[in-house]
Structure 1
Amino acid sequence: MLNHSGTIQIETKRLKLRKFDYEDIPHMIKNWITNPSVQNEYGEPVYKTTTEVYELLKKWIDKYQNNDFYRWAVILKRNNENIGQIAFCRVYTEIETAEIEYCISENYWGKGYATEALNAVIDFSFRVPKFYKLEAFHRIANTRSGRVLKKTIMDEAQTVRRFEVENIKPDDDICYSIIRDDYFALKE
């Protein structure tokens, strides 16, 4: 049974996943949110000014009071720097399903940080709020994100819930998913 917990801090060997705060703004600007190579890869706009980033963070921080809002700042432990974000961009409470999105600074690509963060959030989502299903997708051209998803416990799927609801055929997207029972069976 799904029991929303909201964004709770998660730690891995190299990363701390925590709620965003306004002190993240300089690192976000330096590392990823102003970089079209990062933002365009996962379909988000480029934020150009401190004011724009502040306004975005204000929306996210205000939503932390909702227990069905999940968005983590990805913090590199060795220097306490914000190098990206990971979130449930869609939550379908009625069917206990969430869709995951993530981004990592271009300066940190190829070092396994996205995979490490994603694996931690997958584990969290089945153990704490106890989602039934997790989904993700990447554009065919975004091979970097595809490599990240292939390194997780998720499997390629026909579609994700959002595409079903919006009656979209995922022609240019590769979808991944995993259900809770399969996750625990594979972890044994």
Structure 2
Amino acid sequence: MEVENYLKEIPEFKTERLKLRKLSFSDLEDVFAFCSNPNVARPMTWEVNSSKDVTKEFLSMVITGYEKGESAEWAIERNVTGKVIGVAAFIDWSNKHKCVELGYFLSEDYWGRGIATEALRPLVHYGFGTLNLNRIEGRVDTDNIGSQKVMKKLGMKYEGTLRKNEFIKGEYRDTEVYSILKSEY
């Protein structure tokens, strides 16, 4: 199955502690709570959400993308509370090369608890199993130790550092690249 065909049907995933599902406008309060945190936004390409209107624009973009078959974002929801605590996504996929990049951001309240790894595992499994991808990669700021650990826990290997490859929030940043191949999974 090609990724673009998969985008027409975003599946839900359940893990021990989490449910991954499509984002909806009813998630506004939860998403704003972590997207308005400067620590969450710091390594991201987007700015701190200064108002709920900014978060609503993000949700609108994602939901419209679902309708067009162009969005691959999942809400990371806690099973126990039903609260959305993060977002996971497939970014920059290539049908020709059978490759996708994983992305995520998570409420600071849940950092260091294995939540990101737990949320991304079913996406890796789905990518290699259902989508028949050859490669899944992750890109991480060199100073984002927590995300580097997540990539390693997913079985990804460090490939190298792209030096000053992105201009984010007024500065050029280095990016570490991690990947896992289907043959390694």
Q: 1:87 to 1:67 in 2, by over 3 A?
A: same
* Contact map agreement 2:63 2:71 (CA 8 A) in 1: no
Q: Which residue of the partner structure matches residue 86 of structure 1? A: 88
1:136 aligned partner, one-letter code = G
* Contact map agreement 1:2 1:132 (CA 8 A) in 2: no
Q: Which residue of the partner structure matches residue 2 of structure 1? A: 2
* Contact map agreement 1:153 1:178 (CA 8 A) in 2: yes
1:23 is matched with which residue: 9, 13, 26? 26
Where do residues 4-153 of structure 1 align in structure 2 (5 Å cutoff)?
Answer: 4-6=5-7, 7-30=10-33, 32-67=34-69, 69-153=71-155
Partner of 1:65, secondary structure, is helix
Q: Which runs of 5+ in 2 are unaligned?
A: 166-172
Deviations 1:74-125 (A, max 9, x none): 0011100010001112112221111111111001111110010111211111
Deviations 1:156-175 (A, max 9, x none): 12479xx7xxxxxxx82221
Q: Which runs of 5+ in 1 are unaligned?
A: 164-170, 184-188
Q: Which residue of the partner structure matches residue 168 of structure 2? A: none
Count of residue correspondences: 174
- % same residue: 29
Q: 1:159 to 1:134 in 2, by over 3 A?
A: farther
Q: CA RMSD in A?
A: 2.0
Find the aligned partners of 2:86 and 2:122 in 1 and give their Cα distance. 15
1:16 aligned partner, one-letter code = K
Q: What is the TM-score normalised by the length of structure 1?
A: 0.85
2:88 aligned partner, one-letter code = I
The Cα of 1:68 is off from its aligned counterpart by: 5.1
